[in-house]
Amino acid sequence: MGDNKETSLGNVRAIKSDPIFNAVGDIDELNTKIGTLIALLGKSKNEYFINPDGSRLQLKDALSSIQSDLFSIGADIASSANNVFIPKRRIGKDDVKRLESYADLMSASFPALASFVLPGGCIESAAADEARAVARRAERSVVNAANSFKIENTEILAYLNRLSSVLFVAARFINNANGVRETPPNY
């Protein structure tokens, strides 16, 4: 049924280039990039512990919880076009605060940024940088979709904004844990 430039969101038909599909698609792509990062972290000898509330949390476990959040976000965005997709759990202020705590905890383990740094370093860090770039695109896509559809959950944009920051910090955290020096751009 999708061969003629249209597809459905439940029982609602729309053109495939509609901003709602770009937003949901970019959220899906972001989720796959985070999945790739988790797979790479799982192959590493380093366990990448962050320490929220005095407990030990592996970065890959934090990222897995983010993947579930992204499914909720995708469903929430789709529900703005068709309420069949209302998620079981909506992203809220506590989820945004959780992301902020991840970034703060990881940042505490390495020096503050003195200049811009080139993406990359070790493979896991490069994957985090790639996920960060997709998170920024997803954020822009959601803003664009909000111009066509009323996206009721305003915490989605705050979450996506913080998520790109978390992924940037994660890339630095991973490089630091592996002794990889950051490279400033020559511009």
According to the model, what pLDDT value does residue 57 have? 80
According to the model, what pLDDT value does residue 132 have? 98
Q: Record the pTM.
A: 0.91
> Taking Cα atoms as reference points, which of 79, 104, 76 lies closest to residue 162?
104
Q: How confident is the model at residue 55 (pLDDT cuts 50, 70, 90)?
A: low
The answer to whether 20 and 148 are in contact (CB under 8 A) is yes
According to the model, what pLDDT value does residue 180 have? 95
Residue owning tokens 């499914």: 71
Where are the domains positioned within the chain? 18-111+119-177
Q: Indicate the pairing of strand 6-9 with strand 12-15.
A: antiparallel
According to the model, what pLDDT value does residue 53 have? 61
| Per-residue pLDDT tens digits for 65-89 | 999 999 999 999 988 877 777 788 9
According to the model, what pLDDT value does residue 54 have? 61
CA distance to 61, 75, 117, 121, 128, per residue, from 184 (Å) = 30, 39, 4, 12, 17
Whether residue 179 has pLDDT greater than 90: yes
The answer to whether 147 and 36 are in contact (CB under 8 A) is no
| Per-residue pLDDT tens digits for 14-50 | 788 889 889 999 999 999 999 999 999 998 888 888 7
| Per-residue pLDDT tens digits for 126-175 | 999 999 999 999 999 999 998 878 888 989 999 999 999 999 999 999 99
Domain 18-111+119-177 has CATH 1.10.3720.10: no
